[in-house]
């Protein structure tokens, strides 16, 4: 029978890409995680990870085990939740970016809440600048937010794929004197990146459409009102991705980070684990 603690460490190493960050996720030292992986490999009699420098990736056998490990850990978590059934788990205040709110994340959150009738789940979809502020103020317990790549802190971090986009049917005239931009209000990471990239290329710009709604921005891009920067999961079929060949180089790297309040409750940390698994799966599919 598989040891769930060993499986949990194995999944964390794969999701985080290394032993150090995996240790932070499961609250163990790097050496302890390494020993647990060795024990698991001894149990199955096969190597599960390829260690190439700082990068750690699963072997073919490791990939086979990974899906089973996720299912076993999920079932074990569900069993604990059902058997415990506390009368009152309090509340978890979660902040998420709007593009992830529309990307099957609502189903995960609904399932999490249904399994815990004593828990009140308060979810807020907003710009990352506001989510970060509210987390620092103590108004959120957990936040999935976008930030510049390489920032410190967080339970888990994933590189984000973002692209310049225009309308597929009515593309913007790229030879125009002033580039029409579409984006969220001031303070948005994408907006700042777009403006910086345009100015670095020596071109002028103006905001053709600004909206606090992702749906509004997607619609404006699709209609041909201007150019925007969207995460890969928010790009629609009526959008066309622009590349360096079109004169639009990639913007500065961004990342998704899952950050919890210092005094996060057990329920908050359980939700963080679920979100970490979800985001890792999203990244894996997009790779």
Note whether 171 and 245 are same-domain residues: yes
In a domain, 157, yes or no: no
Q: For 104, left (φ over 0), alpha (ψ -120 to 50), or beta?
A: left
Same domain, 270 and 131: yes
Q: How many CB atoms lie within 10 A of CB 86?
A: 12
pLDDT at 85 (0 to 100)? 56
22 lies in the same domain as 141:
no
Which residue segment(s) compose the domain that 127 sits in? 88-152+258-286
Q: Tell me: do 263 and 250 sit in the same domain.
A: no
Q: In this structure, are 232 and 270 located in the same domain?
A: no
Structure tokens of 163? 């692209």
pLDDT over 80 at 121, yes or no:
yes
pLDDT of residue 88: 59
Distance CA 180, CA 174 (A): 10
* Crossing angle for the helix pair 4-16 and 266-286, to the nearest 10 degrees: 50
Please report which confidence band the pLDDT of residue 84 belongs to, taking 50, 70 and 90 as the band edges.
low
Beta strands in the chain (DSSP E): 49-52, 55-58, 90-96, 119-125, 142-148, 156-160, 162-167, 178-183, 204-210, 227-231, 239-242, 254-260
Confidence of residue 175 (pLDDT cuts 50, 70, 90): confident
Among 63, 82, 101, the domain-final residue is 82
Q: Are residues 140 and 282 in the same domain?
A: yes
> Is residue 236 scored above 90 in pLDDT?
yes
CATH number assigned to the domain comprising residue 17: 1.10.10.10
In-domain check, residue 215 = yes
Question: Do 274 and 143 share a structural domain?
Answer: yes
Cα separation, 44 vs 3, whole angstroms:
11
pLDDT > 70? residue 83: no
Phi, then psi, of 198 in degrees rounded to 5: -65, -45
Whether the CB-CB separation of 122 and 171 falls below 8 Å is answered with no
13 plus 136 within the same structural domain: no
Give the confidence band of 285 by pLDDT, cuts at 50, 70, 90: low
How many domains does one find in the chain? Answer: 3
pLDDT tier at 102, thresholds 50, 70, 90 = low
């Amino acid at each position: 029978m598989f040891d769930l603690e060993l499986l949990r460490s194995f999944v964390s190493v794969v999701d985080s890409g290394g032993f150090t960050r995996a240790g932070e996720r499961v609250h163990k030292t790097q050496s302890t995680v390494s020993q647990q992986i060795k024990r698991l490999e001894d149990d199955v009699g096969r190597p599960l990870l390829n260690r190439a420098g700082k990068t750690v990736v699963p072997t073919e056998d490791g990939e086979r085990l990974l899906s089973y490990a996720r299912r076993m850990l999920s079932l074990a978590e569900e069993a604990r939740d059902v058997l415990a059934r506390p009368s009152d788990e309090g509340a978890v205040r979660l902040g998420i970016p709007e593009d992830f709110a529309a990307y099957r994340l609502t189903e995960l959150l609904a399932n999490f809440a249904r399994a815990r009738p004593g828990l009140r789940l308060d979810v807020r979809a907003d710009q990352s600048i506001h989510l970060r502020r509210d987390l620092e103020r103590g108004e959120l317990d957990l936040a999935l937010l976008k930030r510049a790549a390489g920032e410190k802190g967080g339970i888990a971090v994933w590189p984000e794929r973002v692209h310049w986009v225009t309308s597929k049917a009515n593309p913007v005239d790229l030879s125009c004197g002033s580039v029409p931009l579409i984006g969220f209000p001031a303070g948005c990471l994408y907006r700042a990146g777009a403006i910086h990239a345009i100015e670095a290329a020596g071109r002028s710009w103006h905001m053709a459409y600004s909206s606090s709604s992702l749906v509004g921005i997607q619609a404006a891009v699709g209609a041909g009102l201007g150019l925007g920067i969207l995460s890969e999961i928010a790009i629609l079929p009526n959008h066309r991705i622009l590349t360096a060949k079109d004169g639009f180089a990639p913007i500065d790297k961004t990342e998704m980070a899952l950050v919890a309040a210092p005094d996060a409750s057990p329920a908050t940390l359980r939700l963080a684990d679920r979100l970490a698994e979800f985001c890792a799966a999203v990244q894996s599919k997009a790779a």
